[in-house]
Structure 1
Amino acid sequence: LRDADYDTVEARLTGAHPYHPSYKSRLGFTMIDNARFGPECASAVHPVLLAVRRDRCRASASATVPGQNAGALLSDAARQRFDTALARYGVDPADYLPLPIHPWQWEEVAAPTFHAAFAQGDLIAIGTLPERYLPQQSIRTLASLDHPGAPSLKLAMNMVNTSTSRVLAPHTVCNAAPLSDWLACLVASTTWTPPIAAPILLREVAGVSYMPAAPAQGQYGALSCIWRESIHGHLTPDERALPMTALAHLDSDGEPLLAPWLDRYGAAIWVRRLIERAWLPVLHLLWVHGIALESHAQNMLLIHVDGLPERVALKDFHDGVRFSRQWLSTEPPALTVPPPEHALVNPNSFIETDDADELRDFTCDALFFVNLAEFGAMLADHGYLEEPAFWRIVAGVIRDYQADHPDLAEQFARFDCFAPTMAIELLASRRFLPEVRLRTRDAPNPLASALASTRATSLTTDHAPTEASCNR
């Protein structure tokens, strides 16, 4: 995959998330389903296009979408197909919104269990989208093959991948666009002082979710779509994108996918640059604005120039943001409140908490445990850096950042990433046991012991990139 483009790497990664039990298994998928729709196998997918009555759905759209209407995101060919089909049914297209769904979801859930909705005209089957899409590593997110700059589609699926069901709760679909717009405004108004760089936010620009009057088993959040910006419209001509999960990937020759870059720049220099350009921006948002992001490896993209980390792209905000109003730097947007029963089926899904450690752990569990730790372990396995040295570099970069921002001392103490322990998710338990409570445990924090070492030996000077080593 070393020479492959971003969308191909995103789809074809076979490693990644080594800490996740049975990362590539999908509860609810058959072998035939994997061959048809798995990112490792599928060549193209055509989503099924439904029309949903406006008064039977929840929907929102970004201020960047014309008319704040998800219909504006359809291609000309899809829009014509949509309008023609509705005219044939004798209904006004203005009364309906487009709702793409995954073809597997159509076969397994929509067609068998939503008869009444189709009979009543709440839902109308239009056909398939004319464009081809490629499944990404999360399976339910599809990237456009025919128009790479077009938004990706994040589609509800009644199956379990990694540690959670892949349906899309209606309130999270409604919150996707306002959260994305709010975060984008915050990033634009934030001061980003080198070596950190402003992150790219892949905004979730629209969402539509069908709301049955009385949902039957398996229908809640089963017909939902979120449109997410493509990375391709954000890159400069000399930039390339790489899924962050690829950092721990071994290519077909058994060597790290990153081996040429690590050999060219040196592992210590490359790691330091990675933390400065990709990890510090996430921590900066926590410490400056009080916003915790679930930036695990699937939710981050490395943006590089000639293999050297340049900046980061972040995604998945509809259910991957937490905050406390008392620590926010600005008022949050008006959000749709989850129904009371949502916490009973997914207690891990919420936005607001007044527990500072919970916000810190939400950020650091994703950022360090199921993300950076995997990369550090791979570097040690292949002789690039022993894990203690790796964590000393990470701790040194964070320590230097904190020294440069004494005005944030209170926030550093409140959200202490150098605490002796942190709560991390019990991934196997979450995968195989019912979602009836939070499943976490306290684990030793490698940054804590690494910080003590960096106080004695300054790796900042030892591993600072020289102008020659970073010459592009």
Structure 2
Amino acid sequence: MSRPSTPDAEAVFAEELSVVRPGLSAPYARALPGARAAVLTRLWRALAYEPLPWIAGREADREGLTVRLADGRRLHGPRPDPYVTSDHVTELRLGERVYERPEALVGALDVPHGDAFSAELGDSVASLALSRADRTSAAVPGPSAASWAWEQRIVDGHPYHPNCRARPGFSVAEQLAYGPEHRTSVRLDLVAVDDALVTGEWPKWLRDGERVLVPVHPWQVAHVLDTPVQEGFAGRPLMSLRTLAVPDGPHVKTALSARLTSSVRDISVYSVRTADTVSAFMEAMTSRLDAPLHITRTLGAAGAGFPDLAAVVRESPDGYAGEGERCVPVAALPLTGLPEKASWLAEFTRLVLTVGLRLLELGVALEAHGQNLLVILDRAGSPVRLVYRDLADIRVSPARLARHGVPVPELSGRIVTDDERALRRKLFGSLVGGTLGATAGSAAALGEALERVAPDLPRTADLPALLGDPLPVKALTLMRLSPETPGDLWTLLPRLLGGPGSS
């Protein structure tokens, strides 16, 4: 069967780079093999663990893992570790042919919706190689550096998504101008909106009389919006790319109608309408919890009534770090060198699971992945408190709140659920499968940390499921290959500790 040809993203990037930043051409070429391996490693994780409908079975042996496809072909690779983040898979063998490029492998698999996914994988490889090519001059943040300085040190993006650096629709020049890993500053524009939908206290400096000034990303202005803009202000892009830290000010989350990893990053009308209520509720919950957790308050949200033009302003997490302390996004922890110590990893594991389980028991499941969760380190580097930001995707259980005598907020929609499995998936998948897994870097290290801290964890009704059941994580590749299915899809990773569970 003939297949439509797609542009070679690596070559396209190389050609553009030779024009806009020729000095990076040679480092980019050197970074390509490692970038292919990084994306191939993430893809192999999906092929080894996700419930992809065209996989008939999996067989492990001393040499690795063989994946049996429904059409009879066999795909072979090394024995997988679902928590490894190194570039350890350099090739996979499909039948008699060896593949080093993930997009070529997906093309050869010839699966439904594979063409679009293959193109995204090629973009992910090229974009990741570009990011790695430009990291040599990145200085290590000093003791008093703002959290955004740590975020701009994060080069590889999502630790487990094959689309870890995919940015379809972004040229090389735009990536260099807007990508946080390129240590840039981005000037946002402003769009004046009459009769805007506003919740919370929209800042006075973002108003023009009765009109609301909505900050918009320059990529959005160039590719999506067709409306006059005013010159705005500069900010440092964070790892989400569309959220920026204003110097000595708040963080501003903009709509960016581009697909990054799995989702199109706009801001729904629902999110604008519920932002103030959710923020006030979570601020009250942290006070009730009496635990080392801070929530970055949403100061205001505004929009024009459609997802492509909206923004959220929230306080900076840096204000929760005291003198001599550092506020570091969890995704940046491997860059500090601290997780190499088993005792440090156990200390961190105890902190985050204690907070997460206690809050879940009360009725709130955080999506505590490495981007949303930050940790405050003391002078010695010990984790002492947590900061959580971006409340758009938490889950709230009215039944659990009521059992503990907590007033139920006036909320509806996707954020509200009493489904026990959905609540546990939200917290366990992000906090253990994402935050702790990527920080530990291997199933052995993560299992050891859990075993060390298990006796100290709160004895909640959710603890047996956490320690004894297989771990639910998002099936990221299945989600990209299932465009007809909205929402999250899930898979199960092997249990990290022995013993029966009780989910």
**Residues 1:59 and 2:59 aligned together:** no
Q: Which runs of 5+ in 2 are unaligned?
A: 1-138
Q: Which residue of 2 aligns with 1:186?
A: 285
- Offset at 1:432? 5.0
5+ residue gaps, structure 1, are 62-67, 84-92, 115-124, 193-197, 212-219, 249-256, 339-349, 381-386, 453-472
1:258 aligns with 2:336: yes
Could you say which structure has the greater relative contact order, defined with CA pairs below 8 angstroms and 6 or more residues apart? Answer: 1
Pairwise CA distance, 1:169: 0.4
Which residue number corresponds to residue 423 of structure 1? 472
TM-score, scaled to structure 2? 0.66
Report Cα offsets for 1:107-147 as digits up to 9, x if no partner.
Answer: 21112xx5xxxxxxxxxx45122x32111111110111xx3
Letter in 2 for 1:360: R
The partner residue of 1:11 within 127, 136, 152 is 152
Correspondence for 1:122: none
Of residues 206, 214, 238, the one that matches 2:300 is 206
Change (3 A) 1:208 1:376: same
1:252 corresponds in structure 2 to none
Pair 1:140 & 2:247 matched = no
Please provide the CA RMSD for this pair.
Answer: 2.3
Secondary structure of 2:466's aligned partner: coil
CA distance in 2, matches of 1:439, 1:126: 35
Looking at structure 2, the residues matched to 290 and 435 of structure 1 have their Cα atoms a distance apart, in angstroms, of: 31
Corresponding position: 1:401 with 2:450: no
- For residue 323 of structure 1, report the CA deviation from its aligned partner: 2.3
**Kept in 2: contact 1:207–1:227 (CA 8 A):** yes
Amino acid at match of 1:443: L
1 CA distance for matches of 2:307 and 2:339? Answer: 43
User: 2:369 aligned with 1:296, yes or no?
Assistant: yes
Does residue 352 of structure 1 match 2:432?
no
* Change in CA separation of 1:262 and 1:286 when aligned onto 2, cut-off 3 Å: closer
**Contact 1:177–1:205 at 8 Å: present in 2 too?**
yes
Distance 1:286 1:429 in 2: 27
Aligned counterpart, 1:240: 326
Q: What is the alpha-carbon distance in structure 2 between the residues aligned to residue 433 and residue 27 of structure 1?
A: 18
User: Structure 1 residue 225 and structure 2 residue 311: aligned?
Assistant: yes
The alignment covers a number of residue pairs equal to: 355
Output the amino acid matched with 2:370: A
Q: Using the alignment, how far apart are the partners of 2:152 and 2:140 within structure 1?
A: 13
Alignment deviations for residues 345-400 of structure 1 (CA, whole Å, 9 cap, x no partner): xxxxx2122320111011100111122112222xx5xxxxxx43531322442432
Question: Does the Cα contact within 8 Å between 1:46 and 1:132 map onto a contact in 2?
Answer: yes
Deviation at 1:317, TM superposition (A): 0.3
1:432/1:37 Cα in 2 relative to 1: closer, same or farther (>3 Å)? farther
Is the Cα–Cα contact under 8 Å of residues 71 and 97 in structure 1 kept in the other structure?
Answer: no
2:446 aligns with: 390
Q: Distance in 2 between matches of 1:172 and 1:369?
A: 26
Alpha-carbon offset, residue 160 of structure 1 = 0.9
Q: Residue 367 of structure 1 aligns to which amino acid in structure 2?
A: L
Tell me which amino acid in the other structure corresponds to 1:240. R
Distance 2:339 2:418 in 1: 41
Q: 2:262 aligns with which of 163, 170, 185?
A: 163
1:284 shift after superposition? 1.5
Structure 1 residue ranges (4+ consecutive) displaced by more than 6 angstroms after TM superposition:
none
Q: Name the CA distance, whole Å, in 2 between partners of 1:432 and 1:156.
A: 24
Residue pair 1:391, 1:446 contacting (<8 A) in 2 also: no
For 2:300 and 2:382, locate their aligned partners in 1 and report how far apart those are by CA, in whole Å: 33
Alpha carbons of structure 1 residues 419 and 209: separation in structure 2 relative to 1, 3 Å: farther
Q: What CA distance in whole angstroms lies between the structure 1 residues aligned with 2:462 and 2:439?
A: 28
Q: How many Å apart are 1:291 and its aligned residue? A: 0.7
Paired with 2:221 and 2:354, the residues of 1 have a C-alpha distance of 41
| Partner Cα separation in structure 1 for residue 252 and residue 141 of structure 2 | 25
Aligned to 2:276: 177
Q: Displacement of 1:71 after TM fit?
A: 3.2
Aligned equivalent of 1:466: none
Matches of 1:435 and 1:180 in 2, distance apart?
Answer: 32
TM-superposed deviation, 1:41: 2.5
The 1:46/1:432 distance shift into structure 2, 3 A limit, reads: farther
One-letter amino acid of the structure 1 residue matched with residue 230 of structure 2: G
Q: Percent identity?
A: 25
> Which amino acid counterpart does residue 15 of structure 1 have in structure 2?
D
Change (3 A) 1:16 1:43: closer
Alpha-carbon distance change, 435 to 2 in structure 1, aligned in 2, over 3 angstroms: farther
CA distance in 2, matches of 1:37, 1:279: 34
Which amino acid in structure 1 is aligned with residue 409 of structure 2? P
C-alpha offsets along residues 44-63 of structure 1, whole Å, 9 cap, x if unaligned? Answer: 21111122112xx32211xx
Give the superposition deviation at 1:40.
2.2
Deviation at 1:436, TM superposition (A): 2.3
The normalised TM-score by structure 1 is 0.70
In structure 2, the residue corresponding to 1:15 is in which secondary structure?
coil
Q: Which of 347, 350, 360 is 1:273 aligned to?
A: 347
Q: Say whether the 8 Å CA contact 2:176–2:182 is kept in structure 1.
A: yes
